Amino acid sequence: MAERKRETLVIIGSGPAGWTAALYAARANLDPLVYEGEPIGTVLPGGQLMNTTEIENYPGFPEQLTGPELMQRMKDQAVHHGARVLTENVQSIDLGAYPFAIRPTYSEEVEALAVIIATGAQARWLDVPNEERLAQGGGGVSACAVCDAALPIYRNKVLAVVGGGDTAMEEALYCTKFADEVVVIHRRDEFRASKVMADRVLSHPKIRVLWNTKVVEVLGYEAIEGVRIENTVTGERSELELGGMFVAIGHTPATQFLDGQLPLTEHGYIKLPHAWRTATDVPGVFAAGDVMDDYYRQAITAAGTGCMAALEAERWLAHQGLGESPLLETAEAPVDQAASSR
């Protein structure tokens, strides 16, 4: 087998976490290599913000900007300071030997002295007609009410939240701050959410629930005008006029390529051994952004953990006596993670 090129730090994934990690690592002279991902359906390099048309809550931008604009600015800044970028996915990584072997989609395998995983989590969609098109085009379909419900296009309208878990309850309650009415659409006859969250929704004067109901089509061309719904018991179909729809049926973290080499939570997110840290159970491997955060899921918190991961990776490499050059001739197996981080 041909000798692999050795990298000091490889960052897998883009988005706010990946680009922030790349920026900090580049400024620390770690010469990071970023695998930013590749476009596959609704999954785009840059993460979930690539499907967000307007952003008002990212600090430092009083003017309104789009998700793609913010991601491009972050990428440009990281590249300006020396980050290198490949637009492809990582197919697999071997964390059982050191240095870590990384196999991307198209280019040659590389080995890395440290790795930051920032592959994010993708919102689950209903997979019904018009949903994807309107979500990508800013037509009033979103997977994050906390991100978008305050935008002018959603204010003083009837909004729908699809789902029955705690996230759906939180989204519905948040929407009541801006909507005339919030309609929760749930395919079963009771919520999966905790009792306290369900009670808050059921007792709220602005919220009504459509039980045993599923969305089968989103209506509207340039913007959502309503949804076609179906009763899951009788099969009867009808239409519901709406000014916006938020899909809250969960997220799928992009951890499949790890092939079980890192501990995951029950929902598939990378499980970190220490709170407020980004180091994983494997020394030299760090995780940042939504791939390890199923609670906040905001651009600013993802960026924060990207910073944390880069700083931890830099300090870890220095503690190992590595990182001064991406072309180091030797690299011993890393010492115990807990000891190296003290």
307 included as an active-site residue = no
Q: Is the peptide bond before 104 cis (omega within 30 degrees of 0)?
A: no
pTM: 0.80
> What's the one-letter identity of residue 241?
E
pLDDT at 131 over 90: yes
Paired strand residues for 141 = 245
- List the catalytic residue out of 31, 76, 127, 144: 144
What is the average pLDDT score of the chain? Answer: 91
Whole-angstrom distance, CA of residue 69 vs CA of residue 104: 26
Specify the length of the chain in residues. Answer: 342
Residue 66 near residue 54, CB atoms below 8 Å: yes
* Token code pair at residue 236: 């009867």
125-247 is a CATH 3.50.50.60 domain: yes
CB-count exposure of residue 206 (10 Å: 0-12, 13-18, 19+): middle
pLDDT surpassing 90 at residue 112: yes
- Helices 15-27 and 67-80 pack at an angle, to 10 degrees, of 20
pLDDT in tens, 331-340: 555 655 443 4
Task: Indicate the burial class of 49 (C-beta count within 10 angstroms; 0-12, 13-18, 19 or more).
Answer: buried
pLDDT at position 2 is: 65
What number of other Cβ atoms are within 10 A of residue 266's Cβ? 7
Contacts 24+ apart (CB under 8 A), 40-45: 41/132, 42/122, 42/125, 42/132, 42/135, 42/136, 43/122, 45/14, 45/87
Q: Where are the domains of the chain?
A: 5-122+251-340, 125-247
- The Cα–Cα gap between 198 and 286 comes to 36
* Within this chain, domains 5-122+251-340 and 125-247 share the same CATH topology: yes
DSSP 212: S
Among residues 31, 76, 127, 147, which one is catalytic? Answer: 147
Question: In the structure, what pLDDT confidence band is assigned to residue 215 with cuts at 50, 70 and 90?
Answer: very high
* Catalytic residue check, 148: yes
**With bands split at pLDDT 50, 70 and 90, how would you rate the model's confidence at 327?**
very low
Q: Beta strands 207-210 and 181-185: pairing type?
A: parallel
CA angle 213, 219, 221 (to 5 degrees): 160
Per-residue confidence (pLDDT) for residue 334, from 0 to 100: 63
Check residue 122 and give its pLDDT.
86
For the stretch 235-269, pLDDT in tens is: 999 999 999 999 999 889 999 999 999 999 998 99
Q: Among 76, 148, 293, 336, which one carries the catalytic annotation?
A: 148
5-122+251-340 belongs to which homologous superfamily? FAD/NAD(P)-binding domain (3.50.50.60)
Whole-angstrom Cα distance, residue 171 to residue 112? Answer: 40
Helix-then-strand count for the chain, H and E: 8, 17
User: Which pLDDT tens digit goes with each residue over 298-326?
Assistant: 899 999 999 999 999 999 999 998 865 44
- Cβ neighbours of residue 195 closer than 8 Å, sequence gap 6 or more: none
- CA Rg value for the chain: 22
Average pLDDT over residues 100-123: 95
Looking at per-residue pLDDT, the higher value among 5 and 297 belongs to 5
Determine contact, residues 67/50, Cβ cutoff 8 Å.
yes
DSSP secondary structure letters along 46-86: TGGGGG---B--STT--S-B-HHHHHHHHHHHHHHTT-EEE
User: Position of tokens 């395919």?
Assistant: 187
| CB-based contact 4:291 (threshold 8 Å) | no
